[in-house]
Structures are given as structure tokens and as C-alpha cells.
A = this chain, B = another copy of it.
Amino acid sequence: MVARSRHEEDKEALRLQIMDAAREMFVAEGVERVSMRRIAEKIGYSPTTIYLYFRDKNDLLHQVCEETFARLTRNIQAIQQLSDDPLEKLRAGLREYIQFGLQHPEQYAMTFISPLPRDVEFEFRETNGSIAFDTLRSVITDCADANLLKHNDVELLGQTLWAAIHGLTSLLIQHGGFPFVERGRLIDSLISTVIAGIRR
């Protein structure tokens, strides 16, 4: 049994090695431009070996995205500790979301911007994706409980805010060539606008 456990560890090690290589290449070059063959080459295995650990390229992509979700959630939750004012927490969370996207543009793009195949999209709900959204919901609930909002439909508000910050994040990532006003100002403007729009 010790031998078997050791064995399992080895398998897991290669799985992680594949994910590390894939993540690094996806981030550096974009998902489209990275082929299974080149990932395999990078880690010194044949292309087919990857298929022993991941169903297909989409599965690999999906698993890297799950990591990203988890990291984003952790970051946002960490930021929350810094203030007691619920609206300030919300503001900080929104800002952290945008910053995270800009700091990991390829990861953000492949998680939130690229279309996910139907089956992946379905799982999506019961995994880190929903946990990330839970965080947003809970901050908004705090604001609602403190009676700071125009109305208390937390689900609606959460999705509204998510849509807005996702829009800015993805525009800045995908259309860097568009003559945007200075980034910091635009981010401040969006966050201020939506917060002003929902507060009592």
C-alpha cells in the first residue's frame, strides 16, 4: 500500500507538471497558439501522454481555469479583511477583481472571455466559479443588511456588478489598442459609477 501511494504521488506529479507547463504557455502565448504537441515537447513526453491525464485540450484548459478561480477568490477574500465598512469592502472587492484580471490577462481571458464548451459550462456552477460568486454575494448581503442599498435583491445586484466589472476588465485586456483614458481613472470611474448607482 505504501508502494501504491507512492505511485499515486508520481502520477499526480506529472499531472501537475502538465498543468504548470500548460498554464505558463497559455499565459505567455494565448490558448489558441499553444498546441498539445508543444506542451508535450516542453515537458519531455509524447503528445499522447497528456491524454492519459486530461480528456482533451478543453479539459486541460478547464482545470487551469479552475485554479484561476480559486486564486481570484482567495485574493478577494483576503482584501475584505482590510475594512469594516461594507461598501468599502465591496469597492475593494470590485477593484481586486479588475486588478486580478489585468495582472493575469490570459488566465482571465480563458476563464471568463473565451466561450466554454457546453459540458464544461455546466460543471462550472458547482465549482470554484460559484465560490467566487458566493464571495461577491456575501459582501453585497452585508451592504444590504446595513441598509445601505436602494433595494436588496442580492442576486440581481451581484450579477449587475459582475457584468459591469467584467466588461471593463475584458475590454482592457482584449482591446488594448483602443484609445482608452488613463486606466486608473477608468477603473475608478466604473467602480464609483456602479456603487453610486446602487447605494441608497
CA distance A167 to B170 in the complex (A): 8
The answer to whether B157 and A189 touch across the interface, beta carbons within 8 angstroms, is: yes
The 0/1 profile, CB within 8 Å of B marked 1, for residues 145-189 of chain A is 000001001011101101111111111001111111100011001
Identify A164's interface contact among B157, B164, B195, CB under 8 A: B164
The answer to whether B197 and A192 touch across the interface, beta carbons within 8 angstroms, is: yes
- Residue numbers in B under 8 Å from A56 (CB-CB): none
The answer to whether A166 and B177 touch across the interface, beta carbons within 8 angstroms, is: no
The answer to whether B193 and A125 touch across the interface, beta carbons within 8 angstroms, is: no
> Interface residues of A, CB < 8 Å — how many?
47
- Residue numbers in B under 8 Å from A197 (CB-CB): 192-198
- Residue numbers in B under 8 Å from A121 (CB-CB): 175-178
* Chain B min CB distance to A130 (Å): 9
The 0/1 profile, CB within 8 Å of B marked 1, for residues 127-144 of chain A is 000000000000000000
* Chain B min CB distance to A191 (Å): 10
- Residue numbers in B under 8 Å from A192 (CB-CB): 197
The 0/1 profile, CB within 8 Å of B marked 1, for residues 87-111 of chain A is 0000000000000000000000100
Given contacts A153-B181, A163-B186, A194-B194, 4 further A-B contacts (CB under 8 A): A122-B177, A163-B167, A163-B168, A196-B198
Q: Can you list 5 A-B contacts (CB < 8 A)? A: A30-B115, A118-B177, A121-B177, A160-B168, A164-B193
